[in-house]
Amino acid sequence: MRISTAQYYATTAANYQRNLNNVMKTAEQASSGLKVTTASDDPVGAARLLQLDQQEAMLGQYTNNINALNTAQAQEESVLNSINDVLQKVSELAVRAGGASLNDDDRKSIGAEVAQAEEQLLNLMNSKDANGKYIFSGASNNTPPFARNSDGTYSYQGDQTQLQLKIGDSMSLGLNDTGWDVFQQAINASRSSTNMMAPAVDDGRVALSPGLVSSGPAFDASFRGGQPYTLSFASSTQFVITDALGNDVTAEANGGGKFDPNAKGGSDINFRGVTFALDVTFQAGDTPANADAVIAGHSFQLSAKPDSFVSTRAPGNASTTVVSQTSVTNAADYNSFFPEGGAVLKFTSPTTFDLYARPLTSGSAPVSSGTVAAGVATAAGVSFTLSGAPAANDQFDVSVNTHQTQNVLDTVSQLRQALETPTQGNPAAQRHLDSVVAASIANLGNAKNQVDLARGAIGARGNVMDMQRDQIQSSGLINKSTQSLIEDADPAEVLTRLTLQQTMLQAAQLAFSKISQLGLFNKL
């Protein structure tokens, strides 16, 4: 086959350009150390490198999240440590306040210290992080978690949602603990009550404390199921307890219904997880001969404290209507449907309303709806008595005190109020103080346990973060190694290939110069 001179020159130029490109590309690889710089270099390798780059970015984000979690955990732990110190101080004050040698002025002085601790606790529990967000409000971190009500009690205003950050493809950790979990769920030791039934007028001879829960499981499993109980005194040394159905359950009390008011601890009645302190005080004219007669006939009702509510009208309400009374009217509906963390009662008209779980958002769905009847709005087993006719869009915030648990701020507040109340010459007030002090000591211990649980959870999350950080670092090293295998050039191979390509290019140049000079005239 014959080719023209022009065709030969074009073919030779194309081959030369291709060889030159190969040399330049190999020289670039030798200079940069990379064998994949564009997708055309290695389409499969380039796609894999893109995946590895995305994985590397995700690992970096996980590391940033771990750093953010570490900062948040350190802030929370610091606040919890300070709170524990305050609780320890209040516990010591409560023990000192129980001293029999103190007078009203002494207790008032202790009460002033408790008041300062109460304010300090409120400030600590409403602490903010470095971004100005409330630490213990959950997802509602622009809202102060705790607020003081008009009656001196405290309410939790945050939510029960723990913010989460991903630290792995299938692993998330809580950014903080909610105030509901840390401070609102401390077991309440004073969740029982007593009420004198006979005589109609208290003669001062027999007093029974509200009781202190000594065994939560026994209280929940046995005491609540048989309430209300009737404790009747048959004599000055014996009593009988019957449950709500009239069954005699005295055998379940310590001593089988017998007590000795003159023995140390002999007047403590332990019954189904609750300890009641009995105080028998004989009056002038009472003698050993008529002791049984003057004590017999006294009776008390023993029961668990009913849940209580605090309803606060929203400042923007169009009407001046307030909720004057709140009570549980259907226990089954209440236990099944009423929001545990509190509710918002919102009126859609003067006679219709919806009940929402707190906090109320644009996406909230009503838990219950109803119509006002005779000035009472009933929702989820709870009846709200209204002082007047509400306007459309009026809202009421409803906080619930279940008495199973107690906010530590309420515990400190109750102790302060009891210490501020004079007891000199008032046996009833002194007994009330003794009950409050005993309950406060127990509840403060429960509150510290709850804080310690939160601190333990922080430590556990810290361990998880440390292990996950190590895992991320290992994955990062593997990622880098895989990227290097795909992307990095082998220096020896590149230099060998470059030498070969340069030799081929030079040979092609020499061959072209020789062949291009050939012609028929060279044969003449």
Q: Give the model confidence (pLDDT) of 218-228 as tens digits.
A: 888 889 888 89
Q: Examine the domain organization and report whether 321 and 360 are in the same domain.
A: yes
Those residues with Cβ within 8 angstroms of residue 145's Cβ, 6 or more apart along the chain or in another chain:
125, 126, 134, 136, 137, 138, 156, 157, 158, 178, 179
Q: Examine the domain organization and report whether 283 and 349 are in the same domain.
A: no
Residues 230 and 253: their CA atoms lie apart, in Å, by 13
Confidence at 5, pLDDT banded by 50, 70, 90: low
Which of the listed ranges 432-441, 496-505, 511-520 does the model predict with the highest average pLDDT? 432-441
Q: Examine the domain organization and report whether 322 and 390 are in the same domain.
A: yes
Q: Does a structural domain hold residue 58?
A: no
Q: Examine the domain organization and report whether 196 and 295 are in the same domain.
A: yes
Q: Does a structural domain hold residue 71?
A: no
The stretch 497-516 carries a mean pLDDT of 64
Q: Examine the domain organization and report whether 272 and 201 are in the same domain.
A: yes
Among 304, 324, 357, where does a domain finish? 304
Confidence at 317, pLDDT banded by 50, 70, 90: very high
pLDDT tens per residue across span 358-410:
878 888 899 999 999 999 999 999 999 999 999 999 999 888 877 888 889 99
Q: Examine the domain organization and report whether 283 and 323 are in the same domain.
A: no
Among 378, 401, 424, where does a domain finish? 401
Q: Could you list the residue range(s) of the whole structural domain that residue 339 is in?
A: 308-401
Angle, alpha carbons 432-406-128 (nearest 5°): 125
Residues 172 and 179: their CA atoms lie apart, in Å, by 20
pLDDT tens per residue across span 61-86:
878 888 888 888 889 999 999 999 99
Number of domains comprising the chain: 2
Q: Examine the domain organization and report whether 293 and 351 are in the same domain.
A: no
* In 91-143, beta strands by DSSP E: none
Half-sphere exposure of 51 (CA within 13 A, CB side): 8
Least confident of 71-80, 249-258, 483-492, 508-517: 483-492
Instruction: Write the DSSP symbol of residue 392.
Output: T
Q: Does a structural domain hold residue 6?
A: no
Q: Examine the domain organization and report whether 292 and 260 are in the same domain.
A: yes
Among 386, 401, 416, where does a domain finish? 401
Q: Examine the domain organization and report whether 314 and 244 are in the same domain.
A: no
Q: Does a structural domain hold residue 117?
A: no
pLDDT tens per residue across span 181-233:
899 888 888 989 999 999 988 888 899 999 999 888 888 888 988 889 999 99
Q: Does a structural domain hold residue 26?
A: no
Residues 230 and 210: their CA atoms lie apart, in Å, by 14
Q: Examine the domain organization and report whether 288 and 342 are in the same domain.
A: no
Q: Does a structural domain hold residue 186?
A: no
| SS3 per-residue string spanning 43-58 | HHHHHHHHHHHHHHHH
**Burial of 440: CB neighbours in 10 Å, binned 0-12, 13-18, 19+:** buried
Q: Examine the domain organization and report whether 291 and 313 are in the same domain.
A: no
Q: Does a structural domain hold residue 326?
A: yes
211: left (phi over 0), alpha (psi -120 to 50) or beta: left
Q: Does a structural domain hold residue 337?
A: yes
- pLDDT surpasses 60 at 489: no
Picking from 504, 444, 505, the residue whose alpha carbon sits closest to that of residue 88 is 444
| SS3 per-residue string spanning 201-265 | CCCCCEEECCCEECCHHHHHHHHHHHCCEEEEECCCCEEEEECCCCCECHHHEHHHHECCCCCCC
Q: Examine the domain organization and report whether 211 and 297 are in the same domain.
A: yes
Confidence at 53, pLDDT banded by 50, 70, 90: low
Longest CA pairwise span in the chain (Å): 163
- pLDDT surpasses 80 at 40: no
